[in-house]
Structure 1
């Protein structure tokens, strides 16, 4: 390769990285999410933007590995027993949604004047939801492991499986005799063989392999082996006609109970993040603005109609399967889009003679725009359903609560803090947003309600107006400050007790006149220091006095810093140190037979 060609490639890499680095933080700060940031960045630098890249498909082929690695990491969190417990959701709920939405969208295509085979292909491409978009949004919102998130994952798995029969159907519908003559049985046999090989290798070969590699103590070899497993499983599935993502997911499931699971996840994570971002950049580049400008009424109309009809189908199937209104609405907004498998299906249909080039470009533009609209729709969900959208099946929302103390946040800190109150018989109302923790707490006899304490309506529903004290134990600095502001303004009768993370956070809370705060690590660290003094021979009473003096001086420094005397606080820290008492060597402990 010439020096000039190498420099050109390096420039392209720098542009890709720079586009993501600039766009994603900006869009996240605007509350639009990282997915939309990547898509916008890709559009800006692509062939229809600044024209820095002319072949987005080449980038997409490489960047698909990001989706593959993402599914591998998801598989590592999904033990076989857990996956088996989801079989009814995968083959029941998932299949019902695919069939219902496919039928509705095919009907829309026929009504629009398309012949039935073309309408079917267009519809089924849109039925295949974007696994990458949905999983990244769930991951950012912390909902992947929630009951609601698990149902979405189940449907996505079924859609990944559905790509095989869909490709076979496209071949059978083809007017091209060579394509139509492809044996469906051969396709199915190859797919089943690929699944069997990945399953057997994951069950009996991979753990011994990683044990041998771990014994070599070569970290880079372990990383290479992790990549080999992911890419090898993906490649094998691709040869079998299945999606590469499905192969990686299956490999992850097979290794989910391995002792090397956490190491594998740590090795894959950096590659996964970069390549997944690159995938969305490639999708943004692939949006054909020429088609959009020429046929914008048809493209925009197609996006609106396809998303609305698919949303109706998803909501109806959800309600039919017993989902609550809020869960059905959440699933509808999250999945009412096309996905990356549509690109595969439409390309196959072009090769089979079912679609022509302009139709493929228009349908691809519709899918990409629907993917871009999804983060906006999810962000608007809070206004569509202010109080119901967050509810998860089996978990009660905060409503009509009353208690002497309202505790917001029930993590490790809140759990310990609540024990004294409950032991005294104080009535405590507890709210949190972690659905897994809420369900876990219920199994230990604690009743925790779902609620976002940074919202005024939730605070009212949680009994803040009648509470004598509000204990703010959340693990988010910004959320804690917002709750303090709301509570101080709207519930002046309540004492505010707040968990502070560090000195800076404590100073901010003090400026808002909270009634009590504690830095979460300070008390434990002070006790630890006192114990260390005792361990080296300092008399207990002197060690306790030193610890008390350190605490007193720290409080004085805080007060000085609060009034702007930071320099004076630092001088106080370094002056008038506690005078030490000469240490004597600790006496040896008596022998067991002494005395």
Structure 2
């Protein structure tokens, strides 16, 4: 019982410290990452409130796993192919070109070649957690320099696997360096199982669970997919983060992508914060005290070296000055995978545990200096070109569409066809698994998710949408979606399907940009077709329908100002009868006399009729002037 109380107390301290420090540092403009780091230092090495920082760090590493899964969801295979030059060009060059001088410098200080190689490669890696978190906080994930930074980080994550696999070969006393055929088969089989499962099994399973309508089941399924794929790849000798990333990429085309992202996002944010707190908790102040001269030189020197190399490589591969500066400032630190590599190298006796502690301290200090390096990079960019540099890259256009359409019943389907026929990108959300299955058969791309959830709207790219079209078919659902969007995203343009006249008035009161009752235009078209079938000339039937439409809109506007009972006299309740044929001058007088009355009361008068009709020619056949004979 006492152990349980201690555990709960530590959880409360972690949450409270993270909330306090994260909020404070965010308000100061320093970012939440630095706040979490200082919270960990304060609660661990300084005050001694929490002692098991290593356990917190291991749990927090799941945040990196969830982060890579979400990144995978945003990257379809076509996008990865589009980024191939950045990933295997800039990314590969950065790892090799950075590891060589660092390793050579370490070797010059008396370390063995294997130790120098491991240290050089370990310090060449940057922090995925820091880099992507800072990009997200600044809204720069989909900018050109954001793509370049992500490409470098992705290749570094890929490079972790062969680095860890090479450690047994570099260990001086290990003889267990043979890779058996069965181990290779297990690794290949795990990758194939993940690819086949993600391609053919997950979508049908998610459709079944979505049909059940239990949100907690979908949440559990999302966690199962991420953790299951991570563990599968870890068992095959790969990193957990890489397994989650592959699962995300395989689900990037899934109709349930946005729902998965929305379910995982809270865990990702919480666990990443815990990871950064764990980094602060794991700092060994005794190492800092004994080796502070080395730290004060090594960490800044490492960051300057990596920044210079990154900038040069980025420019050589055709990136612009501003983007290269930003990438260099963002990725100049050492990364969290260095903790794993240095600990494993120490366990393999490649170098001593004291060296590993010093390297981890250098890595941690470089992480803590990352917000400063990104701030310096921001000040070095050319302000005149900054706006152009920050334009969204076309390869990432699918990350958010011009239009977010919520609801894909019969009304939304017609709206979607109009938008798609114009060449516009449309992200479509619907919460009916059966409707999504049916629509996919016709080639529509629809995502499963509820527009009544803020996290789903965020995942669907509402912040990048120029317009949100709410086409849900229930008044209560529509009201909840509109209220949520107006509260959380007040600047978005909102077009809404109204259920009836009263609903239209309530939507206007909510401040929507446009609303239309679902049956108005179809009823007007139906009436127009009926008139034509009764022999009314097309031009006249169109004028009649347009008059009804305009009077209806005027009445709606009057009701908006004065209440639902206003404008009753604008409704046509009895037939409008034609005038008898009269002599030319009498007809002209009749039209002129009735003009003011009909203008005031919404009657039908052809203001654009040729002047010849008013100057002596009688009306022929079905061309008749109308005068209202009953109160509308």
Q: Please give the TM-score of this superposition, normalised by the length of structure 1.
A: 0.68
Q: 1:542-580: per-residue Cα shift (whole Å, max 9, x none)? A: 9748847977xxxxxxxxxxxxxxxxxxxxxxxx98984
Structure 1 contact 72–249 (Cα < 8 Å) conserved: yes
Alpha-carbon distance in structure 2 between the residues aligned to 1:227 and 1:532: 43
SS in 1 for 2:111: coil
In the alignment, structure 1 residue 208 sits paired with structure 2 residue 200 = no
Q: Paired residue for 2:35, among 37, 53, 56?
A: 37
Structure 2 contact 551–570 (Cα < 8 Å) conserved: no
The equivalent of 1:58 in structure 2 is: 55
Structure 2 contact 69–247 (Cα < 8 Å) conserved: yes
Q: CA deviation at 1:206?
A: 1.0
Structure-2 change in CA distance of 1:171 and 1:213 (3 Å): same
Greater mean alpha carbon deviation, residues 164-173 or residues 232-241:
164-173
The equivalent of 1:108 in structure 2 is: 105
Alpha-carbon distance in structure 2 between the residues aligned to 1:92 and 1:184: 32
Q: CA deviation at 1:261?
A: 0.8
Q: Paired residue for 1:167, among 154, 164, 169?
A: 164
The equivalent of 1:81 in structure 2 is: 78
Q: 1:183-227: per-residue Cα shift (whole Å, max 9, x none)? A: 398776654443322212111111122122222222211111111
Q: Paired residue for 2:130, among 130, 133, 142?
A: 133
Q: 1:77-103: per-residue Cα shift (whole Å, max 9, x none)? A: 111111122223222221111100111
The equivalent of 2:340 in structure 1 is: 344
Structure 1 contact 96–317 (Cα < 8 Å) conserved: yes
Equivalences for 1:376-525 in 2 at 5 Å? 376-387=372-383, 390=386, 525=512
Alpha-carbon distance in structure 1 between the residues aligned to 2:367 and 2:97: 20
Greater mean alpha carbon deviation, residues 319-328 or residues 33-42:
319-328
Equivalences for 1:243-392 in 2 at 5 Å? 243-387=239-383, 390=386
Alpha-carbon distance in structure 2 between the residues aligned to 1:42 and 1:144: 27
Show structure 1 runs of 5+ residues with no match: 397-410, 414-442, 445-474, 477-500, 507-520, 552-575, 591-595
SS in 1 for 2:301: helix
Structure 2 contact 325–380 (Cα < 8 Å) conserved: no
Structure-2 change in CA distance of 1:217 and 1:533 (3 Å): closer
In the alignment, structure 1 residue 120 sits paired with structure 2 residue 95 = no
Q: What is the total number of aligned residue pairs between the two structures?
A: 448
Q: 1:431-456: per-residue Cα shift (whole Å, max 9, x none)? A: xxxxxxxxxxxx99xxxxxxxxxxxx
Larger radius of gyration: 2
Alpha-carbon distance in structure 1 between the residues aligned to 2:113 and 2:12: 46
Q: Paired residue for 1:158, among 155, 160, 167?
A: 155
Structure 2 contact 144–323 (Cα < 8 Å) conserved: no
Alpha-carbon distance in structure 1 between the residues aligned to 2:157 and 2:514: 54
Q: 1:247-277: per-residue Cα shift (whole Å, max 9, x none)? A: 1111011001111111111111111111111
In the alignment, structure 1 residue 97 sits paired with structure 2 residue 91 = no
Show structure 2 runs of 5+ residues with no match: 393-400, 404-422, 425-462, 465-485, 492-507, 524-547, 577-632
Q: CA deviation at 1:235?
A: 0.7
SS in 2 for 1:380: helix
